[in-house]
């Protein structure tokens, strides 16, 4: 099974488990995959990154040994028996650790190990109490997402409220809170209260019960987000105190999360508004390092090609470096050119689009030659 398909299957599980963990327990080192992993080295990597020494391992030894046995057993029936015998170990922390191991395998391209993990995941989701709850949560999250996407731009607070009130399970209700928290504001709850006032009997009680649940889920989510943002802000601030911001950011790439990036962007906006030039400079360098680190290799190649003076030089550069000419490069060029063409009223964008189109034609010609063995 291709790695991207493996990620599609196991990705929602990882996200759900990580979202349930408190902010301080989320492990950002997953953003920096390690290659050539074995069962043992993956577990050692995770434990080492979590700061668990061999002496500290005793308290978690049973859980880790159980995960290792599951990974080494090929028989589904034997795994089922192991799962039954170790049901007391299978909890939120177990799934969090399992998910980190799965992410490491997928990120490093270990297809055989990733396939084993997918098989184990299927059994864990079907044969354990926590797994069944997690599976339901993932399913409801995907269903809620489809419902919201189907509404598209016509989604209003009224319609969001209708979706919430139609929820058959608490998991679906939590999913709407997770996906559409921004729409559940004062006006949203005021509208719900108005419906409650107009209702009577069992329907009134049902609506009141849903309101109570929604308020609780929203409060829980807000607390989690506040804790995550506070942690991200402290992390970014700690880097800003370093004398060499670029070096500090590069050394801590594995600790950055999406929250950290958003905080840095907000800080840059605030620093710009207050004319805090030194802080602005550091934040700009931070974001530049992050952008360079996260950009696909094709972007770097295109940036170099754009700087070349003419088509002859571009063709020479690509001819001398045939490994650069990949389907990924062609796809990226097509996407970027389309973006530029969409801004036809912007002279700079138009010129850039024309340059990208020229590069694409050259790359396509060389790609066709390479495929034909010329």
* Contacts with 215 (C-beta within 8 Å, 6 or more apart), sequence order: 189
pTM to 2 decimal places:
0.57
CA angle 193, 195, 196 (to 5 degrees): 65
**Which long-range contacts link 228-231 to residues 24+ away (Cβ below 8 Å)?**
228/23, 228/26, 228/257, 228/259, 229/259, 229/263, 230/23, 231/23, 231/24, 231/259
Structure tokens that stand for 217 in this block: 């889920």
CB atoms under 10 Å from CB of 125, counted, come to 18
Structure tokens that stand for 234 in this block: 């402290």
How many Å apart are CA 255 and CA 43, to the nearest integer?
A: 19
* Contacts with 7 (C-beta within 8 Å, 6 or more apart), sequence order: 106
The pLDDT value recorded for residue 29 is 36
From the list 219, 291, 303, the residue with the least C-alpha distance to 253 is: 291
Could you give the dihedral angle defined by the CA atoms of residues 235, 236, 238 and 240, in that order, rounded to the nearest 10 degrees? 170
* Domains of the chain by residue range: 3-127, 137-220, 242-294, 297-371
* Contacts with 92 (C-beta within 8 Å, 6 or more apart), sequence order: 17, 20, 21, 130
From the list 326, 323, 240, 329, the residue with the least C-alpha distance to 286 is: 240
From the list 305, 283, 302, the residue with the least C-alpha distance to 237 is: 283
Using CA atoms, how far residue 120 sits from 36, 82, 103, 281, 358, in Å, is 21, 11, 14, 48, 49
How many Å apart are CA 229 and CA 262, to the nearest integer?
A: 9
The pLDDT value recorded for residue 45 is 53
From the list 178, 262, 239, the residue with the least C-alpha distance to 214 is: 178
What does each of the 374 residues of the chain score in pLDDT, given as a tens digit?
444 444 444 444 444 444 444 444 444 433 333 433 444 555 555 455 444 455 545 546 777 788 888 888 888 999 999 999 988 888 877 887 787 777 767 766 667 777 888 888 889 989 999 888 888 888 888 899 999 988 888 889 999 999 999 999 999 999 999 999 999 999 999 999 999 999 999 999 999 999 999 999 999 999 988 998 999 999 999 999 999 999 999 888 878 888 899 999 999 999 999 999 999 999 999 998 888 777 677 877 888 888 888 889 999 988 888 888 888 888 888 888 888 877 778 888 888 888 888 999 998 988 888 877 65
Structure tokens that stand for 301 in this block: 């190649």
Contact 162, 192 (CB under 8 A): no
């Amino acid at each position: 099974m291709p790695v991207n398909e493996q990620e599609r299957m196991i990705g929602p599980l990882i996200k759900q488990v990580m979202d349930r963990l408190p902010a301080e327990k989320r492990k950002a080192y997953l953003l920096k995959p390690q290659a050539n992993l074995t069962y043992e080295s993956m577990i050692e990597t995770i434990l080492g990154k979590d700061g668990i020494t061999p002496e500290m391992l005793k308290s978690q030894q049973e859980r880790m040994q159980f995960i290792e046995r599951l990974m080494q057993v090929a028989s589904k029936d034997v795994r089922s028996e192991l799962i039954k015998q170790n049901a007391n170990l299978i909890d939120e922390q177990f799934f969090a650790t399992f998910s980190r191991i799965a992410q490491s395998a997928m990120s490093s391209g270990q297809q055989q190990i990733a396939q084993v993990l997918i098989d184990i995941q299927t059994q864990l989701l079907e044969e354990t109490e926590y797994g069944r709850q997690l599976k339901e949560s993932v399913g409801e999250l995907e269903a809620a997402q489809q419902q919201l996407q189907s509404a598209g731009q016509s989604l209003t607070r009224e319609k969001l409220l209708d979706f919430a009130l139609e929820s058959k399970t608490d998991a679906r209700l939590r999913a709407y809170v997770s996906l559409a928290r921004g729409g559940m504001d004062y006006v949203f709850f005021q509208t719900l209260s108005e419906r409650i006032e107009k209702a009577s009997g069992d329907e009134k009680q049902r609506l009141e019960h849903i309101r109570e649940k929604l308020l609780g889920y929203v409060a829980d989510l807000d607390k989690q987000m506040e804790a995550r943002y506070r942690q991200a802000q402290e992390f970014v601030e700690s880097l800003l105190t370093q004398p060499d911001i670029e070096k500090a950011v590069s050394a801590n790439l594995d600790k950055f999360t999406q929250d950290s990036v958003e905080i840095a962007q907000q800080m840059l906006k605030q620093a710009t508004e207050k004319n805090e030039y030194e802080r602005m400079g550091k934040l700009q360098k931070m974001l530049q390092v992050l952008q360079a680190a996260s950009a696909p290799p094709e972007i770097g190649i295109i940036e170099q090609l754009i700087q070349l003076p003419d088509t002859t030089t571009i063709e020479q550069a690509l001819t001398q470096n045939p490994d650069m000419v990949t389907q990924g490069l062609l796809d990226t060029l097509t996407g970027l050119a389309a973006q530029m063409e969409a801004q036809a009223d912007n002279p700079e964008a138009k010129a850039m689009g024309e340059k990208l189109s020229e590069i694409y034609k050259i790359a396509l010609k060389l790609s066709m030659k390479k495929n034909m063995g010329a």
